[in-house]
Amino acid sequence: MSHEEYMREALKQARYAFAEEEIPIGAVVVLDKQIIARAYNQTERLRDVTAHAEMLALTAAANHLGNKYLTDCTLYVTVEPCVMCAGASAWAQIRRVVYGADELKVGFRRHGNLLHPKAELVRGVLAEECSALMQEFFVRKRK
């Protein structure tokens, strides 16, 4: 599968969040061309500020592998991770982070490179679709 195909899987997760009135961010973790974890934002449902899509996906991937280190994995997420999620991906030693839409207000890149030193960053995969979903969510929220 390509970056776009994996990002479409993350977008499916984001749509689940949207349907549950959560901020529509989705994530998947890939190892050896297989999705080993899927998640979406659940901060409202779980009443947990740390229940971001990336955090839940990293935990699910670690549980799947039985290892806290995800050194051969790629994290796909629909929106640029925040500082917390970027830091968690660094601690998990994620090999590659691929995201869709830039997050200019709370994205990690405002604070420098917070990913693992060996991690590759790929930005802008299906950015328009990822951004449109976020925009639609906040337009509806303001009504």
Residues in binding site for Zn(2+): 52, 82, 85
In this structure, how many other beta carbons lie within 10 angstroms of the beta carbon of residue 16? 17
Per the annotation, where are the binding residues? 52, 82, 85
Q: Is 20 a catalytic residue?
A: no
Give CA–CA dist 97/119, Å, rounded: 7
The catalytically annotated residue of 22, 54, 80, 103 is 54
Q: Per-residue DSSP letters for 60-110?
A: HHHHHHT-S--TT-EEEEEE---HHHHHHHHHTT-SEEEEEE--TTT-GGG
Query: Residue 73's closest CA among 84, 83, 82, 64?
Result: 64
- What are the catalytic residues? 54
